[in-house]
Amino acid sequence: MQTHINAALYQKTIWSCDLMEGFDTSFSMNCKEKVEKLEEKVMTLFIDYENGGLITLQLLELIDDIERMGLGYRFQPDITRVLSKVASKHYATKEEEEDNLHAVSLEFRLLRQHGFSVSQDFLKRFKDTDGGLIGCLHADVEATLSLYEASYLALEGELDLDDAKLIVVKSLLNLNKSQ
């Protein structure tokens, strides 16, 4: 059974280009204003870090969130500027005394991603006598995932990061099985 449509009954659409251009653009203007306000807030957070009002971990998590949302290009000069301050602070004070695996893994990953030269030596504090990661770290999912992501930025010959990747994968698989 075939349906036959009478072309004489077909009505042309009213959605023309002229009609679409005539719509009020207050919605798009409102969105643009909101975006500008949010960008200003992010810039304020970068300035707060430079003035000592934001700790390094908060800054690194902010940068990570911005980049994961795909907005890193909008703040690239500022991200590079504050990461260079993080790197110089890292080198000057040997801020590797941090006992938070998530924090040092995130710092390592972001600095490496942005072209800074960072050593894998931060891992030595988190190893036990057998060469594995300290046992309590296996339950810290955030730290485990941060180290997993950081391990993908290992350079050739950085065996500690390669070993850490294997340990972390086992840990994540065990966590997955236990859930």
- From the number of C-beta atoms within 10 Å of its C-beta (0-12, 13-18, 19+), residue 24 rates as exposed
Tell me if the pTM is above 0.85.
Answer: no
Among candidate residues 84, 90, 77, 145, the one with its CA nearest the CA of residue 121: 90
Q: Which of 78, 96, 114 is the last residue of a domain?
A: 96
Q: For residue range 88-130, what is the model confidence (pLDDT) as tens digits?
A: 887 666 544 577 889 999 999 999 999 999 888 888 887 777 7
Same domain, 86 and 144: no
Same domain, 36 and 92: yes
Range of the domain at 132: 126-179
Q: What is the 3-state secondary structure (H, E, C) of the chain?
A: CCCCCCHHHCCCCCCCHHHHHCCCCHHHHHHHHHHHHHHHHHHHHHHHHHCCCCCHHHHHHHHHHHHHCCCHHHHHHHHHHHHHHHHHHHHHHCHHHCCCHHHHHHHHHHHHHCCCCCCHHHHHHHECCCCCECHHHHHCHHHHHHHHHHHCCCCCCCHHHHHHHHHHHHHHHHHHHHC
Same domain, 133 and 73: no
Question: Per the domain annotation, does 5 fall within a domain?
Answer: no
Same domain, 92 and 146: no
Q: For residue range 34-91, what is the model confidence (pLDDT) as tens digits?
A: 999 999 999 999 999 999 888 999 999 999 999 999 999 999 999 999 999 999 887 6
Give, rounded to a whole angstrom, the gap between the first and last alpha carbons of the chain. Answer: 56
